Structure 1
Amino acid sequence: MSSYEEIASPADLHADCQAVSHRLQEAAVRATRPAPSIHFDERRREVPKRGIEISEAAQRLANALHLHLD
């Protein structure tokens, strides 16, 4: 067993370098974007609320605890 058996092929190493380069370029773009505004008057007025779904199992547990989620 030689010490070189675990080294990847040059094509694999090149592909890894290209992937890292692409990710670094994306990170550089994201890092240079302007920060969102913190001023209240520049925020959206209406923010939609997420829907809450209660599963059948959660309802059975709540009813067993007398919480009655209807």
Structure 2
Amino acid sequence: MTPYEEFAAPSDLRADCEAVSRRLELAAVKATRPAPSIHYDEFPRDQAKRGIEISEAAQRLANALHLHLD
């Protein structure tokens, strides 16, 4: 057994290196972006709220626990 026997084919190793290079370039781009703002006035104030649907089974369970979801 030679010391290099467990390595993959050179084409596979090259493909792995190219994939790592692409990921590192993407990470570098993301790392140099400016941080998101923490200022209150830069956030939208009125955001639509999602509707909440209460199923019949949940209604029965809530009524049994005397929670009365109406």
> What's the counterpart of residue 33 of structure 2?
33
The one-letter amino acid paired with 1:66 is A
Q: Which runs of 4+ in 1 moved over 4 A?
A: 50-56, 67-70
In structure 1, stretches of 5+ residues that fail to align are none
Provide the aligned length of Structure 1 versus Structure 2.
68
CA 41–64 in structure 1, closer or farther in 2 if over 3 Å, else same: closer
CA 14–46 in structure 1, closer or farther in 2 if over 3 Å, else same: same
Give TM-score, length-normalised by structure 1.
Answer: 0.66
User: Could you tell me the percent identity over the aligned residues?
Assistant: 66
Cα distance in 1 for residues equivalent to 2:63 and 2:8: 58
- Displacement of 1:5 after TM fit? 2.8
In structure 2, stretches of 5+ residues that fail to align are none
- Displacement of 1:43 after TM fit? 0.9
- Displacement of 1:63 after TM fit? 1.9
Measured on the aligned residues, the alpha-carbon RMSD in Å equals 3.2
